[in-house]
Amino acid sequence: MLILLPPSETKRPGGSGRPLDLAALALAELAPQREQVLSALEELSTDAEASARVLKLGVTQLHEVEHNARVRTAPAMPAVDRYTGVLYDALDPASLDASARSWLSRHVLIHSAVLGPVGALDRIPPYRLGAAASLPGIPPLRRLWSDAVSGALEGSGAPFVLDLRSEAYAALGPVPDAVASAYVRVVAEGEGGAVRALNHFNKHAKGALVRRLAVERPRIRSREGFVRWADAAGLRVREGAPGELELFA
């Protein structure tokens, strides 16, 4: 099973050792797209006013322009440790043991707007770029990434993909029809059995789910296998819209 996670707008600063090494990232065939976005981001960072406008930065966020200026040279850290926020707080990767982190490295990709999907332990720098941003000089991110990421996912050899991305990031690289997959929506059941989608708890539930998978490390190779594991684990999962599963928080 391959799990796709969204990134987070908030990121842990700093890092240590080597800077970004494109050749060391998962899905190496995405190198041309990565180069295009990195170069456009660096060029944009030479103009703080334009950066603030394009990236929708407030006064207290202008320091992130410097992050983009140093995106190739800043010390890096594993992607799963770089991202913060509700999902990654629930996942709490720093507290996982070496076996669980190794499982993450083999089974989890985190979809960055700058680098496309990267391995959970791939080392990345701090940066600022969201899925909806339009960088001068290159095509819209959806057009630049979509076909390339879909092709890379098809070529990954994953027997089953569990897609936990937000819709904005899923649009940057849909899982192709040739690959067995399920898009997960986190929902809650209200009065009279009415089901509603969640926001904050959506992120928390996804992080907690991936943490449990990393700790238990089940062998899952299909949608049916995931549903069986979830049922046995006491998680409530049911079929949703075509191609989707609903996870009850």
| Domain residue extents for the chain | 2-248
Q: What is the mean pLDDT of residues 127-151?
A: 97
pLDDT for the residue 52: 94
pLDDT for the residue 198: 66
pLDDT at position 2 over 80:
yes
Model-level pTM?
0.95
How far does CA 163 lie from the centroid of its chain? 9
Segment 21-42, tens digit of pLDDT: 999 999 999 999 999 999 999 9
- Answer yes or no: are the C-beta atoms of 82 and 118 closer than 8 Å: no
pLDDT for the residue 154: 98
Segment 158-213, tens digit of pLDDT: 999 999 999 999 999 999 999 999 999 999 987 666 677 767 789 999 999 999 99
Residues in Cβ contact with 216 at an 8 Å cutoff, skipping those fewer than 6 apart: 233
The model's confidence at residue 59, banded by pLDDT at 50, 70 and 90, is: confident
The model's confidence at residue 249, banded by pLDDT at 50, 70 and 90, is: confident
pLDDT for the residue 196: 74
Mean pLDDT of the chain: 95
Would you state the structure tokens that stand for residue 66, as one six-digit string? 């410097």
The model's confidence at residue 98, banded by pLDDT at 50, 70 and 90, is: very high
pLDDT for the residue 189: 82
Q: Are strands 181-189 and 244-248 parallel, antiparallel or unpaired?
A: parallel
Q: What is the mean pLDDT of residues 219-241?
A: 96
